[in-house]
Amino acid sequence: MSWLKQSLAQVSDPRRAQGKRYDLPHVLLYSVLAVASGATSYRKIEQFLQAHWQSLNEAFGSRWKRAPAYTGLRKILQGLDAAELEAALRRLACEQVEHTAAPVGRAVIALDGKTLRGSLERFEDRRAAQVLSALAVQEQVVLGHVLIEDGSKDHEIAAAQRLIAELGLSDCLYTLDALHLQKRQSSASSGSARVSEILCSRLKRSPVQAATGENRSP
């Protein structure tokens, strides 16, 4: 987990230097572990820390005398620059992919839109949030995600272009839903990302087959 902690240490601390009781890298690391363990709210993250802070001290070298209170934890996390945190996690994901064994053929990146569970707010008449994520298929690592504005199909196309550009990966094979198979869409992305070659579904081959040049199954 040291690699994760080092990446999270690059995130700016929004608090004043005076009076800090909990260092930000450990707060972020333990919050990530809480979410990975099923926490879905600030309250549940706080409950995870209350239950495990002593074990976390021993495992990761923090020197907490007690877990942070709910209000303090929420204030720390809400004060973060979300874009900066996202950028740090994207760099980490790309580094993990680069350090793994090279895949046979081109790397395959799957882009797909998802609706975030629990994001629908009926009282405020707010529709559920939708994001577009990029997954490195062989490594099973999420490289990044962007919000799809208002959840429409047209905006998903724009979100895909933005995410591909932000990742900055070259010589990769991207797979997307059929709505992205438009002439303008593929030609606009035919530079370093080479998205014009994402038509795996038309070829009726799996992404891995398309990347390696294998013939389709009978």
Tens digit of each residue's pLDDT (9 = 90 or more) over 58-74: 999 999 999 999 999 99
**CATH architecture observed for domain 95-212:** 2-Layer Sandwich (3.30)
| Three-class DSSP labels, 45-88 | HHHHHHHHHHHHHHHHCCCCCCCCCHHHHHHHHHCCCHHHHHHH
What does the pLDDT look like over 105-151, one tens digit per residue? Answer: 677 889 988 877 766 666 555 677 788 888 888 878 888 888 887 75
Which sign, positive or negative, has the C-alpha torsion 86, 91, 94, 99?
A: negative
Q: Under a CB-based contact definition with an 8 Å cutoff, are residues 158 and 179 in contact?
A: no
What does the pLDDT look like over 9-66, one tens digit per residue? Answer: 889 998 887 778 899 999 999 999 999 899 988 999 999 999 999 999 999 999 999 9
**End-to-end distance of the chain based on CA atoms, in angstroms?**
44
Cα 29 from Cα 59, distance rounded (Å): 12
How many C-alpha atoms does 4 have within 13 Å on its Cβ side?
10
**What are the Cα distances from residue 57, in Å, to 18, 29, 85, 193, 207?**
23, 12, 23, 43, 43
Cα radius of gyration (the chain): 20
pLDDT band at residue 218 using 50, 70 and 90 as cut-offs: very low
Question: What is this structure's pTM?
Answer: 0.62
Cα 159 from Cα 140, distance rounded (Å): 21
**What are the Cα distances from residue 159, in Å, to 63, 87, 169, 206?**
42, 16, 16, 24
Per-residue confidence (pLDDT) for residue 184, from 0 to 100: 56
Per-residue confidence (pLDDT) for residue 167, from 0 to 100: 81
Per-residue confidence (pLDDT) for residue 59, from 0 to 100: 92
What does the pLDDT look like over 81-104, one tens digit per residue? Answer: 988 888 888 888 777 766 665 555
